[in-house]
Structure 1
Amino acid sequence: MKPFAYPRIFIVGLGFFAISVVWQLYNSFMPLMLGDYIESKALRGSIMGLDNFANIFLIPLIAAWSDRLDTRFGQRLPFLLVGMPLAAIFLLLMPHYVNLATLIAVDVGFLLAMTLFRAPTVSLMPDVTPPDKRSQANGIINLMGGVGTLITLFGLAKLYDSNKPLPFAIGAAVLIVCAIVLVLYVKPLVGKLRFAASVDSDASEQKEPGPAGLVSGLKRVFTSRDRTALCILAAIFCWFVGYSGVEAQFTTYGVETLGLTAGNATLTIGFFSLAFILFAVPSGFLAKRFGRIPIISVGIAGLGVLFLLLFLTRDLMAIRALLLGGGLFWALVNIHSYPLVVSFAGPGKIGLYTGLYYFFSSVAQTVGPALLGAFMDLFGGKWMFAGSAVCMLAALAFLLLARRAAARQSS
């Protein structure tokens, strides 16, 4: 069997496609549903960060657990078989809330179901891809995810204004269909393709069970003399604070500051996703030529400038044009961040380093919506863009520190 095949990556990418469809539904419309009961944007942002609060503790453990699970369906698929149908059920229930308590209850159930299968789904890509092809493969995976996001933003979002439950029902169907396809396709590959990065590995660490393995991995990152991985994870934290805050709060900004309908606000942020899709695959090949950290640095700097420009304008066409540019720069960042982290993984630790990636990004995505929502409450809606620009500047500083740490280590 070939070690790398593009059709295989497209099939594996269906998992990320399904996640992106339902996640965009959640991020676009949950803040508006919460707005029926809660006026404070900071409080709404805090509730939107509940998923990431759960992710901080659960996703790294589940990811490390999936490294060690041994079933006839392999390591990752059992999590998909349970989590995706559960998430579909809660997604169907989500728009039928009758009060704040039922909305929160369905929200928590949905988030826990998504947490169960998210990291194992993402870990499928490095499982079936050689290390030197992971940026290209991640470009394809993110292309699939971007297509899912666009379907939600430009298609399902319009349905929300006229038939609120319909887009959620379609999202649930997407989850079920993708789960079936993945099980049918990936199960025959179990045990035939397994790739790990080429860095050294501590054998005793590999044998540690889920929580102990995660703690050991965190300890290794924080105590290692080589600070490259720690600086990269800190940069990931900063850029996800900035990005997730804007992603979660943009529909609120569009409706309450720009005066758009919910559908048009969601359509506007869709321009960001459109550009991301168009540049996802080319971004993967750019890293092959110039290196991951330089390409990410260009993307972070570009995002910082564009968020400052968004802070300065309220013209809808200008905002959409800037969001197009933002999606291009985000492709330079997001396509390479996960492959960069798992490049530090040794044999048997893909899930562990996937967990570390999600630990830092999930903490960031817990903080981001609430932090930028507080900016909006205190200073006005446009100030979320100023806060995001500061986060990008901090991320760029950590990337520069990572390059210096890598240079010191190599010397």
Structure 2
Amino acid sequence: MTTTSAGQRSRTRSITFLVALAVFAQESTWNFYESQVPPLLREHIGSAAVVGVLMGMDNLLGIFVQPWIGNRSDRTRTAWGRRIPYLVVGMPIAAALFVVIPHTAASLPLLIAVMFAYALVANTFKPIAEALVPDFIAPERRSRANAVVKIATSLTAIVAALISIFLVDDHLNIAFAIPAAIMAVSIVVLGVTVRDSRSPAYQQVLAESDAEPADSRAPRVRDTFVEIVRDRDRSRLLLLTAILLFGSAWAASRSLITPYGMEALDMSRGDAGGLTLPSGVAFILAAYPAALFAER
């Protein structure tokens, strides 16, 4: 193994870990949000369907916000790059809003308003962290890097479940503060260590923009979507459809697991929030082997 090759592998591992940290930070709040906000809504709303609709608000916002912010990030040029500025600004705001959620539980309108604000802010950086993988990691190594990132996601499901089991019933406010603190610490680490202006993808974009005419227009999200729909090769459309269906099924079941445990199984709020613990373990056991098979 050459020194250059060893150095590249070391950088790949380092950036993979840091991207996983960014995803872990944002998903730590999302998992706990999906686990413990529904019981807060159930204190005011008798219909599980209405609770499900309100819990789907973040996904509805994501349909519009995430493509827009992703496209905007692609066109951003700063000394820190095009991804990190959004994370450094958005994650602390989302963490602060997340801490406020349990304090608004007594008022349904105020609770919904804070939920909306959190979902709006969190969706502005949700796609940004994951975009760091293709920015830094070569295509032949992305399956493995994505597996590490997904393992970080599964760890947040485990962390959220454990916080629910040990803290929610007696210390709800502290339980909400822990995922927010994880996000705050993680963004400090990312802000200090990562400059995606040094990523190969960012450098390539700069080189291409220098070669393009000054009046050339960047592709819009709508144009990209229309291109995918009209393409005779249906592979991209089918892939997006599969992602949509899987995400819909997961989100629909995830949001009502805790109320189900409380109302159908007669569990406490904290114990019901821990029902997803086995899913996190299963995710960890499956993710990395699946990535190795994909590479082969």
Q: TM-score, normalised on structure 2?
A: 0.89
The corresponding residue for 2:57 is 50
The corresponding residue for 1:2 is 8
Kept in 1, the 8 Å contact 2:86–2:125? The answer is: yes
C-alpha separation in 2, matches of 1:126 and 1:175: 22
Kept in 2, the 8 Å contact 1:10–1:144? The answer is: no
**Amino acid corresponding to residue 68 of structure 1 in structure 2:** R
Segments of 4+ moved more than 6 angstroms: none
**2:118 aligned with 1:115, yes or no?**
no
Kept in 1, the 8 Å contact 2:102–2:172? The answer is: yes
The corresponding residue for 1:180 is 188
The corresponding residue for 1:103 is 111
Structure 1 position 192, deviation (Å): 4.1
Structure 1 position 234, deviation (Å): 1.3
**2:177 aligned with 1:169, yes or no?**
yes
C-alpha separation in 2, matches of 1:94 and 1:8: 32
**2:159 aligned with 1:142, yes or no?**
no
C-alpha separation in 1, matches of 2:134 and 2:233: 24
Mapping 1:199-348, distance limit 5 Å: 208-209=217-218, 213-289=220-296
Which residues of structure 1 form unaligned runs of 5+?
Answer: 197-202, 290-411
**Amino acid corresponding to residue 287 of structure 1 in structure 2:** A
**2:159 aligned with 1:151, yes or no?**
yes
C-alpha separation in 1, matches of 2:70 and 2:260: 34
Q: Percent identity?
A: 31
Paired residue secondary structure (1:73): coil
Structure 1 position 92, deviation (Å): 1.1
Structure 1 position 157, deviation (Å): 4.1
The corresponding residue for 1:30 is 37
Structure 1 position 72, deviation (Å): 1.1
Which residues of structure 2 form unaligned runs of 5+?
Answer: 1-6, 205-211
Paired residue secondary structure (1:172): helix
**Amino acid corresponding to residue 33 of structure 1 in structure 2:** L
C-alpha separation in 2, matches of 1:229 and 1:121: 22
The corresponding residue for 2:133 is 125
**Amino acid corresponding to residue 49 of structure 1 in structure 2:** G
**Amino acid corresponding to residue 176 of structure 1 in structure 2:** A
Kept in 1, the 8 Å contact 2:160–2:274? The answer is: no
**Cα shift readout 1:86-118 (whole Å, capped 9, x = no counterpart):** 101101110001310110111111111101111
C-alpha separation in 2, matches of 1:265 and 1:217: 42
Q: TM-score, normalised on structure 1?
A: 0.65
Structure 1 position 165, deviation (Å): 0.3
Q: CA RMSD in A?
A: 1.8
Structure 1 position 156, deviation (Å): 4.5
C-alpha separation in 2, matches of 1:111 and 1:159: 24
